[in-house]
Structures are given as structure tokens and as C-alpha cells.
Amino acid sequence: MSDGNPPSSQPHQRSLLERISHFLTGEPQDQEDLLEILRESEEKHLLDADSLRMIEGVMQVSELRVRDIMIPRSQMVVVPRDAELETIFPLVIEFAHSRFPVIEEDKSKVVGILLAKDLLAHALRDKTIKVEAVMRPASVVPESKRLNVLLKEFRTERNHMAIVVDEYGNAAGLVTIEDVLEQIVGKIEDEHDDDENKEYISQRSEREFIVNALTPISEFNDYFSADLEDTDCDTVGGLILQRLEHFPKKGEKVELDDFCFEVLRADNRRVHLLKLKIR
């Protein structure tokens, strides 16, 4: 028998009571509230700094997209589809990558992936075999794919590299599972990394760049023929913090002269990555 209340009122009341309860108990209402609780836990030594940074990285991965971290097409190290194996050995040895995109005409047309480990067996038998005979299919993802979704796909498909394509189906860059994991745990150094040759600035289009926040201001000025002030700080990230006067959140923007910086990644300690647009 009906008690006179509309059938939908009870779920609505429970939802309202839950919201009131959350408010009174101080439970986090959104991601920023949760981060504040975690940061307070770190200050009280209930959580170590490394764990906090990784948790922040995990939360940021769900917000970032492939375009934010991909290696742009201009920086891809590629091999031609019709090249004989013996002709690409010097390149493979020089860069020491485990995987190389295989192109047909130019870098916008990636047709496969060459695994360095596949070269040894074939090279011992016949060095004149062409790359297309040993290449593997390329995994393709759009620039807009979220990193948490990509990481899940990498794991389920047991894949380590994907070619990033633009709206026209052309290769815009590449992304690896290491690139995604570095957003969580920080830079993963290996025996082939060279800090002195680190790429601080990468170009994405004529007027758009990705800038590492650790880029020295002097190097930024040389690259863009700019004249940013560097008397009070040494890096571009430090200059952004100085102008904002607080630790920035993803999406915050700062304009300096003809440059518009947008924060792509930051935590409660420093800025990590910036998008730059030149007016």
C-alpha cells in the first residue's frame, strides 16, 4: 500500500543525506580536496614524498591526453620500409632504441614497427632482407586519447609503442609505455640517456611548442631569440612560479611578452611541463 510519497523521493532523500554527511564529516568532495588531504598526510609524515608524487601522477594521468606527452613527428627516429637491414645497422646502434617506426614515403606515413631484437636473427642469415619483411604492425591511437585508457591498452595488448595520428590519419608523433609511466614515477633513466643532450623544447607546429619546465631561461632565450628576465630564477618553470606566486594547476596560463604558457603538468612542489604558443 502506498504511503503517499512519490516513488522517486526516497532515492533523492538518500542522495541528499549522503551529500550532507560528506560535508559534515569532512570527506573530500573533489580531486583537489583529496590532494589537500594527501599533502597534509605527507606533512605529518603519514605518507612519504615519493608516494605522494606517484599518487599525484596517477591522478594527473587521467587528465592528460596523448598529445600532451607524445614525441612529435619531427623528432621520430625512423627507418625506410624498402631499406636493406645492413644499411640501417649504424642508425640502430647510434640511437639504441628498442623500436623504430617504419615509414613508406615520409614521416607522416608510418606503415609498421621494427623491433631491434628482430634484427639479430635475420641479420645472421641474410643482411640484404628489407625492413618490410621483418617489421610488425603498428598500433595507432588518436591524439585525444586519455593516458589512463592508453596505459590499459598497452597492458592488455602487450604493446610498448603506438603511433599517434592526427584528424587526417597522418602520423603526428609516437608514444611509448615508458612515456606514460614517467608521468607517474618521474623520469626513467637508462644507460643510453644523456642529460647533457636533453631536449628541453620540442616543436609541435609553427607556433606551438612543448617546453620542459627545467629549461634554462638562457637556453629558451637563445632558442626563440627572446629576452625573458633571468635575474631572479634560472628556469622557465621558476619564472612561471614567480609570476603566478602560487603552485599552478593544470590549465593555468601565463603571458610573457609574445609568449603564452599553459601548464600541462605540475604538482605541489614544481611545474613539470608547459605548452607554449607564440602570438
Domains annotated on the chain, with CATH:
69-181 (3.10.580.10), 196-278 (3.30.465.10)
Give the tens place of pLDDT for each residue, 253-279.
Answer: 999 889 999 988 776 567 888 999 998
Note the pLDDT of residue 55.
75
Is 249 buried (19+), middle (13-18) or exposed (0-12) by CB count in 10 A? Answer: exposed
Note the pLDDT of residue 14.
47
Note the pLDDT of residue 29.
59
Look-up of cell digits 623500436? 99
Give the tens place of pLDDT for each residue, 187-220.
Answer: 655 544 444 445 789 887 888 999 988 899 999 9
Q: ∠ CA 158-147-28 to the nearest 5 degrees?
A: 125
